[in-house]
């Protein structure tokens, strides 16, 4: 007998057909949260409305705690930089739409049991920091470098593996400019909030959230591919557990509606009165610049191209779109669909994988349009 | 046939035994959120970590939107005040621990189907605003006054009733000083965030969240008891639907632990290594000043009094407590329990009601303490 670390975790599993959300999934859903979809109105998401996923605990780092960031491994000259030294280096601010790789998971059938997102795991912020490529150039990356590994301060156990959260990027991505990766110390012009990585985090524009290592402490250049848990076990697109899978990387295209009308408290279904309605929302893609947003008011049978606002030079941020519609009494299912310049778009039928990642199935927003004059 | 408002809502119901959390409850859980319990470390909850429950949509109120607050009804002189006029009046700042009346609902059996909180629907903030009693005195409350009704700008439908969110207080509570009710325009020294009621909200220290009307637009003194939906239908303690019930008012005592050790990602169960551990957390009561916090490390069989920090003159804020413990290998269930000066405390067996309100059942925190030397 004995009490071992492996006892703390249960194996990955799929929910049975019609199995409701369990206590474990609920415990994640009550502490993490998505963007309330009416907040798609804001160009930059207000504090506290940006989606949030924390694997373990949010580390407690009171202001003034020393936070030496190390840059080491296969470099000519290892660095150790404190926050003042980072802030003294060249600074870049980038507006970034970030999305959880597990967004849409709870809509899959069968449902992989993990954080149960519907469609709301997204947000947009302006991140300020030092370009990672400048830090790596300063340290001098050796020619045999393959990956750059990022280690956070958040500590936990996952499927029996005790770990600090760690992810890597291929060295050419880490040193690239499309996107330009940041070591960020500010969000929307203020120091990072505790839950967003205070005091330092990685920002990889266009990539899903798992790459954006929070509470960043160490940057390590390696001469072999990184095989840590979050890289080689989690965040891979697999059809079954024997499948080696492909890594999750850049954000698939998605469009979301600002839900029109007003909601029912419990069902969250939407109520409208008949007449003209501006259907509007946001669309984004991390894979290529956005090309098109379309809207359907008949559950995806027919589509109408929406007016897409220009990106204003902000390649990595969502874009607003809108389309005029006249609501008629009855039940309608509204949808929006994004397509990028490389032709990536959103499916009407689910693309399933065992981890429940990158599910950008077209959103369905049921609305009830009342008869004229129905006031109660 | 026809499409009527009543079609938007489904009746209140209880979950069947072993029925998992449904899509409707999940839709609420992904947009509202609790306090991640490790954030109990902060005296004042950082932005975005305070619990949040929005009945309908968060109203979109860009800075600079005119926001005339009216004070009317049974008063000698109706008032209309803009934000600058409110800020020019006497200002009070109060630290308040706020909790949702539905906190603990998802732990009840049978489970009332609504926002499925476990224990985390709480947070503490410093609210700044004008004492309501000064505004009411300025308007001159008539002798026949009974209730004061507060109307927010959030609009939706609930059990077939279309409404702006409205709640009332008895006139003697509205004009009282224990607690002193505020019309608040700042949270933690900054303008209110959109989701916390920007630009104005009510703060009723010691009362559950349903009383703290957000996006406050109108204050109306009435000469008859207010019978709006949120007062007479929702937020009542009933045993069955025929029961008239008692109103939900002040916050019952509760203590919560900062979960010790580190978590498993999926189960959220806690892992510790053997040896000394400081068990710590927060405790509060809206009913009377706090008298005692106790800790159990054996699933509630035996209790030990924890050291409770002084309240520092902050009657309406939670208080920190701690107790030293030596963890031994094995599984343990940790609990904490608050008792106030009037003897109100927390039950070990559930006190059920149909709405799932005021469930302050003692928290259970299962921990796994590893064998010495277990590092993987």
pLDDT in tens, B339-371: 999 999 999 999 999 999 999 999 999 999 999
* B155 at A interface, C-beta within 8 A: yes
Same domain, A178 and A259: no
Residues of B in contact with A36 (CB under 8 A): 31, 54, 57-58, 195
**CATH code for the domain of B292:** 2.60.40.650
Same domain, B11 and B93: yes
Q: What local confidence, expressed as pLDDT, does residue A7 receive?
A: 84
Q: How many CB atoms lie within 10 A of CB B44?
A: 15
**Which DSSP symbol is given to A357?**
-
Q: What local confidence, expressed as pLDDT, does residue A307 receive?
A: 98
The rounded distance, in Å, linking the Cα atoms of B123 and B319 is 12
Mean pLDDT of chain A: 96
Q: What's the whole-number mean pLDDT along residues B151-167? A: 97
Residues of A in contact with B5 (CB under 8 A): 271, 370, 374-376
| Structural domain contains residue B374 | no
Same domain, B66 and B34: yes
The rounded distance, in Å, linking the Cα atoms of B183 and B203 is 6
The rounded distance, in Å, linking the Cα atoms of A200 and A129 is 9
* Paired tokens of B112: 């009332």
Same domain, B170 and B287: no
| Residue A196 belongs to domain spanning | 5-247
Who's near A368: CB < 8 A, 6+ residues apart?
A: A269, A270, A271, A272, A330, A331, B3, B7, B8
Q: What local confidence, expressed as pLDDT, does residue B376 receive?
A: 53
Q: Tell me which residues of chain A, numbers 351 to 370, contact chain B at a CB-CB cutoff of 8 Å.
A: 368-370
The rounded distance, in Å, linking the Cα atoms of B360 and B70 is 37
- Contact call for A268 and B24, based on CB within 8 A: yes
Q: What's the whole-number mean pLDDT along residues A87-97? A: 98
Q: What local confidence, expressed as pLDDT, does residue A239 receive?
A: 95
Same domain, B241 and B342: no
Phi-psi region of A140 (alpha: psi -120 to 50; beta: other; left: phi over 0): left
Q: Tell me which residues of chain A, numbers 72 to 111, contact chain B at a CB-CB cutoff of 8 Å.
A: 106
Q: Write down which residue in A206, A223, A247 finishes a domain.
A: A247
Q: Are A204 and A127 in contact (CB under 8 A)?
A: no
Q: What's the whole-number mean pLDDT along residues A147-157? A: 98
Q: Are A77 and A99 in contact (CB under 8 A)?
A: no
Nearest CA distance, B134 vs chain A (angstrom): 32
How many CB pairs below 8 Å do chains A and B form together? 238
Residues of B in contact with A106 (CB under 8 A): 26
Mind spelling out the 3-state secondary structure of A280-292?
Answer: EEEEECCCCCEEE
Q: What local confidence, expressed as pLDDT, does residue A200 receive?
A: 98
* B280 at A interface, C-beta within 8 A: no
Q: What local confidence, expressed as pLDDT, does residue B7 receive?
A: 84
Residue A1 has pLDDT above 60, yes or no: no
Q: Tell me which residues of chain A, numbers 314 to 353, contact chain B at a CB-CB cutoff of 8 Å.
A: 329-331
Mean pLDDT of chain B: 96
Same domain, A19 and A143: yes
Same domain, A224 and A329: no
Q: What local confidence, expressed as pLDDT, does residue A157 receive?
A: 97
Helix (H) or strand (E) holding A134: helix A132-139
Query: Is A123 exposed, middle or buried, given 0-12, 13-18 or 19+ CB atoms closer than 10 A?
Result: buried
Calculate what percentage of chain A has a pLDDT beyond 90: 95
* Paired tokens of B127: 């609210």
The rounded distance, in Å, linking the Cα atoms of A102 and B193 is 27
Of A38, A55, A60, the CB nearest to B41: A60
Residue B299 has pLDDT above 80, yes or no: yes
**CATH code for the domain of B234:** 3.90.420.10
Nearest chain B Cα to A263, which residue? Answer: B156
Q: Write down which residue in B204, B219, B247 finishes a domain.
A: B247
Same domain, A85 and A213: yes
Same domain, A127 and A230: yes
The confidence band for A323, taking pLDDT boundaries of 50, 70 and 90, is very high
Q: Are A21 and A106 in contact (CB under 8 A)?
A: yes
Model pLDDT for residues A220-273, shown as the tens digit of each residue: 999 999 999 999 999 999 999 889 999 999 999 999 999 999 999 999 999 999
Q: How many CB atoms lie within 10 A of CB A221?
A: 24
Q: Which residue has the tokens 């920091």?
A: A129
Q: What's the whole-number mean pLDDT along residues B229-253? A: 95
Calculate what percentage of chain B has a pLDDT beyond 70: 99
Q: What local confidence, expressed as pLDDT, does residue A376 receive?
A: 53
Who's near A358: CB < 8 A, 6+ residues apart?
A: A101, A104, A208, A237, A248, A252, A351
The rounded distance, in Å, linking the Cα atoms of B199 and B68 is 11
* B372 at A interface, C-beta within 8 A: no
- Contact call for B36 and A20, based on CB within 8 A: no
- Beta strand pairing status for A69-73 and A216-222? parallel
Q: What local confidence, expressed as pLDDT, does residue A373 receive?
A: 80
The rounded distance, in Å, linking the Cα atoms of B85 and B81 is 6
Model pLDDT for residues A268-309, shown as the tens digit of each residue: 999 999 999 999 999 999 999 999 999 999 999 999 999 999
The rounded distance, in Å, linking the Cα atoms of A210 and A213 is 7
- Beta strand pairing status for B147-158 and B365-369? unpaired
Q: Tell me which residues of chain A, numbers 45 to 64, contact chain B at a CB-CB cutoff of 8 Å.
A: 46-50, 52, 54-58, 60
ipTM score assigned to the predicted complex: 0.96
Selection from B290, B362, B356, B359 nearest residue B319 by Cα: B290
Q: What's the whole-number mean pLDDT along residues B230-249? A: 95
Q: What local confidence, expressed as pLDDT, does residue B241 receive?
A: 84
The confidence band for A3, taking pLDDT boundaries of 50, 70 and 90, is confident
Burial pattern A136-146, b for ≥16 Cβ within 10 A else e, equals bebbebeeebe
Of A118, A158, A264, the CB nearest to B156: A264
Q: What local confidence, expressed as pLDDT, does residue A8 receive?
A: 87
Q: Write down which residue in A247, A273, A296 finishes a domain.
A: A247
| Structural domain contains residue A376 | no
The confidence band for B375, taking pLDDT boundaries of 50, 70 and 90, is low
Q: What local confidence, expressed as pLDDT, does residue A375 receive?
A: 62
- CA A243 from centroid of its chain's CA atoms: 24
Of A49, A106, A271, the CB nearest to B8: A271
Q: What local confidence, expressed as pLDDT, does residue A317 receive?
A: 98
Same domain, B9 and B153: yes
Model pLDDT for residues B13-70, shown as the tens digit of each residue: 999 999 999 999 999 999 999 999 999 999 999 999 999 999 999 999 999 999 999 9
Same domain, A329 and A207: no
Nearest CA distance, B267 vs chain A (angstrom): 5
Q: Are B51 and B34 in contact (CB under 8 A)?
A: yes
DSSP A180-212: BPEEEEEETTEEPPGGGTTT-EEE-TTB-GGGS
Calculate what percentage of chain A has a pLDDT beyond 70: 99
Same domain, A197 and A283: no
């Amino acid at each position: 007998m004995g009490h071992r670390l492996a006892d703390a975790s249960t194996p990955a599993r799929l929910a049975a057909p019609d199995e409701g959300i369990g206590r474990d999934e609920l415990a994640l859903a009550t502490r993490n949260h998505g963007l309330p979809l009416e907040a798609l109105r804001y160009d930059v998401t207000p504090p506290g409305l940006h989606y949030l996923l924390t694997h373990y605990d949010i580390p407690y780092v009171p202001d003034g705690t020393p936070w030496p960031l190390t840059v080491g491994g296969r470099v000519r000259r290892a660095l150790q930089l404190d926050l003042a030294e980072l802030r003294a280096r060249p600074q870049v601010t980038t507006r970034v739409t970030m999305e959880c790789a597990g967004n849409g998971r709870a809509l899959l059938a069968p449902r992989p049991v993990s954080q149960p997102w519907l469609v709301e795991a997204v947000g947009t912020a302006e991140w300020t920091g030092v370009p990672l490529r400048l830090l790596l150039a300063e340290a001098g990356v050796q020619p045999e470098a393959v990956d750059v590994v990022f280690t956070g301060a958040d500590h936990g156990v996952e499927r029996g593996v005790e770990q600090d959260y760690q992810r890597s990027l291929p060295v050419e991505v880490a040193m690239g400019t499309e996107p330009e990766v940041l070591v960020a110390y500010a969000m929307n012009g203020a120091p990072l909030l505790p839950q967003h990585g205070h005091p330092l985090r990685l920002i990889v524009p266009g990539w899903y959230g798992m790459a954006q290592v929070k509470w960043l402490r160490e940057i390590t250049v390696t001469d072999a591919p990184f095989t840590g848990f979050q890289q080689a076990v989690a965040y891979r697109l697999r059809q079954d557990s024997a499948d080696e899978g492909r890594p999750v990387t850049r954000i698939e295209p998605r469009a979301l509606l600002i839900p029109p009308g007003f909601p029912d408290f419990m069902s969250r279904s939407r109520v409208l009165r008949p007449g003209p309605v501006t259907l509007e929302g946001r669309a984004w893609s991390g894979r290529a610049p956005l090309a098109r947003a379309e809207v359907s008011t008949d559950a995806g049978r027919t589509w109408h191209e929406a007016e897409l606002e220009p990106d204003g030079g902000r390649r990595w941020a969502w874009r607003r779109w809108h389309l005029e519609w006249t609501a008629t009494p009855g039940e309608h299912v509204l949808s929006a669909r994004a397509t990028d310049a490389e032709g990536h778009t959103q499916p009407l039928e689910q693309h399933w994988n065992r981890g429940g990642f990158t599910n950008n199935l077209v959103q369905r927003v049921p609305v009830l349009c009342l008869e004229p004059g129905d006031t109660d």
